[in-house]
Structures are given as C-alpha cells and as structure tokens.
Structure 1
C-alpha cells in the first residue's frame, strides 16, 4: 500500500454531512425559479457535483437560469445552509492522527470557496488543513479536475502516486485520475457505490475507520 505524503480531501460527503443545508438551499432556489414536481431522488443526486452541473443536468435549466438559480442557492446557503452541517463520526480523530504523522492535508471542493472556509473554521478543522481550494464565484473553474489542478499549482506539488484525492462522487475520482493522483472513494457520502467502483479508484473505504487505515499506512 502506498505511503501518502499529501492528502486532498473533498468536503461535502467526505469530511462533513451537509445534506440538510444543501437540500434546504436547493428547495429555496427552485421555489424562486418556480420549479416544482421534482423527486427526493433528484435532490439526492444534486449533492456532490458542482452547482452549475446540477441545475443544468438534473433540472434542465438553460445557462441564464442556471446562473440565476446558483445565485438563489448561495443566497440561502450563505445565511443558513452552511452551518446546517455535521462532521462524520471519527473525522476529527482521523485528521488529528494524520497531522501527528506529518501528513500534509488540503481541501479540494466544488463548494464556493468562502463557504468552505467558513465551515472549516466553524468546526476548527482549519488547523489541520494547509490550503483549501474551492469553486470561484463565477463558476468558470468549478470542475473538480480544474480545482485539483489549481490547488496542486498553488502548492507547487508535482502529481504523483504519493498524493491522493479522497471523495464520495465520481467527480472526485475522475478529477484525481485526470491529475495523475492516487484516489480513494468513500462509500459513506452521497455517491452511489456501483458508480464509484466503475471509476476504478485505487482504494475504497466503507467508513471513516477504513479511510484512516488506508491513509495512515
């Protein structure tokens, strides 16, 4: 098993469970856009991918309306949604142990960067994280692959198998692979197990304990 020196975490569905905050923000945005008749299953699929992708592909909004829906989503999320959130059991302990082992840890998230920073500070995870890179406000660099690329460049890290991307969706695994990194799929977040396994991640963790075992080896 590889020795990972640098660890990139996704945020939603990997470190924290923001289900309620995201769904409430989505409901607010869709109500503002007069979109109704959607199912709970569609809402579940919305969690994880970039906002622009979700409004466009899951709800069929055109470019203009997608941009407007994202604004409404962030309007609610900025006031209420970001703190309707909870770290998964064992995350604090895992981060502390990995930090003690000298692992260098980062966040690569499709969430708007300022909200991701708020969440990290709120839960006092920021003391373990060297750098956080999130989506820019305009959505120009919102793909997970581009966010990972930007983070690597900012930290002057050369892609290698000793750098690992961890996430709960196919976007995380694809983004890691496209940047030449090792990948770990976690099965306790928002992604579907079959879809994740189809991406052939290097490792698969069913819970936080398994994730820790992979990362601390």
Structure 2
C-alpha cells in the first residue's frame, strides 16, 4: 500500500449481522408454500449472501420457479424474517474503532436495498455509514461487483487511480472477495459468517479476521492483490 487507506466497504449478512434465522424460516416457508421440499439448515446457509437466483438452483429450485419462490420468500421476510436478526457481538466496537481511525464506512450488500435499509435502521446504525449500497430488484444491480460499483459511484471515488490502496472490502463469502477484486480492491474475509475459511482463501481473501476485534488492525495492513 503506497497511499493511506480511506474507505472500508462492509458486507451485511454474515459480516455485520447474523441474519440466518430469518432467512432460514422465510425460505423454508416459501418452499413449503410453493410445493418444494423444505431445505435443510445447511442448504439454506449455503445460499446466504449471493442473490437467490444464483443460489436457489443449487438446492433444487428450478429456474422456472425462481420468481415464485423468491416473491413468496419476500412476503414473510419483509414483515418478519428481516428482524429475526442480530448484530454479531463486537460489531459496534469494531465500527467505533474504524471510525476513530478516520475511515469512511459504507455498506455494500447483495441484499436488496429495500430490505437492507430497514434492517440497518432497526439496528440503529444507519448513520454510521456514508453510503448504504445494496442490490436492486431489477437485473441492473444484482451481483456484488455491481453493488460495489454503485457504492464507489455514490462515494464519488470510482475514478480514483489508487483505488486499491484507498479502499478495502470486509465480507464472509467468496462473492465478496471476487466482487471486490473485480475493481482491484482487496478483501478481508471474516470467519464468523456463512462462508468457510477454504472458500475465502480460494477466492483470494488477503487476510482472515476471526473476530470483529481483529478487523481494525487488519484494515491498516498493506495488501497487494495476487496478479494472475
């Protein structure tokens, strides 16, 4: 790193909050209502993070039923499941320490903004972030790379020639790592979320945080993405 770090992008599900209970119950309910086998806890955990159109086919939902299942899921999740959710222990202290270091904090989540924003409001942490970037319900902003691109535009730093030095991503799944790498940004993987250590290392995470207390020190370290 040749320039000082200025911005941190943070994933939501599996990084800031443990959203698994609400996602699990809402997806199991949706599958039952639509006549599909009820997915196991392990199956649901495997699809938390990326957009459902990527994950649900892997657990047996056919392409022609994706819209029905997702819409049914949203019925319960919007009103109930979103709030069956807790911040991980130590997250508030982590955000305080990152802010104390003078870093700009933003959320970059593949969760749709229409559900991500109310969750951040529910936890009373929205004002800690300069940008709260999430997915759209249309195809124009669904992948993590697209969400990060949106966050960078909102922060007005997308043209920064030293972006890789100034910005770092914090996330728990391989799509966080790969989405950041698409923009030349390194990603620190967190091991308390839904992705495995092997998944994060294979994707190219530059470091692993075993607890929120580890994050601030790791953010200050110099990283260089591995060149192919």
Same fold (TM over 0.5): yes
Residue of structure 2 in register with 1:87 after alignment: 87
Output one character per residue of 1:61-111: Cα deviation in whole Å (capped at 9) or x when no partner. 21x311111111111110001111110111111112222221101011011
1:25-40 to 2 correspondences below 5 Å: 25-36=26-37, 38-40=39-41
Output one character per residue of 1:174-208: Cα deviation in whole Å (capped at 9) or x when no partner. 00001111210111100011111112212211111
Residues 68 and 37 (structure 1), Cα distance of their counterparts in 2 relative to 1, 3 Å cut: closer
SS in 2 for 1:35: coil
Residues 179 and 127 (structure 1), Cα distance of their counterparts in 2 relative to 1, 3 Å cut: same
- 1:24, distance to aligned residue in structure 2 (A): 0.8
1:65-80 to 2 correspondences below 5 Å: 65-80=65-80
Residues in 2 aligned to 1:120 and 1:136: alpha-carbon distance in whole angstroms: 17
Is the contact between residue 23 and residue 81 of structure 2 (CA under 8 Å) also seen in structure 1? Answer: yes
Is the contact between residue 164 and residue 184 of structure 2 (CA under 8 Å) also seen in structure 1? Answer: yes
Displaced runs of 4 or more, over 6 A: none
Residue of structure 2 in register with 1:98 after alignment: 98
SS in 2 for 1:180: coil
User: Which blocks of at least 5 consecutive residues in structure 2 are unaligned?
Assistant: 222-228
**TM-score scaled to structure 2, two decimals?**
0.89
Residue of structure 2 in register with 1:11 after alignment: 12
Residue of structure 2 in register with 1:210 after alignment: 214
Residues in 1 aligned to 2:173 and 2:70: alpha-carbon distance in whole angstroms: 20
User: Which blocks of at least 5 consecutive residues in structure 1 are unaligned?
Assistant: none
Residues in 1 aligned to 2:61 and 2:74: alpha-carbon distance in whole angstroms: 19
**RMSD value, Cα:** 1.6
Residue of structure 2 in register with 1:118 after alignment: 118
1:1-217 to 2 correspondences below 5 Å: 3-36=4-37, 38-62=39-63, 64-157=64-157, 158=160, 159-215=163-219
Residues in 1 aligned to 2:117 and 2:40: alpha-carbon distance in whole angstroms: 31
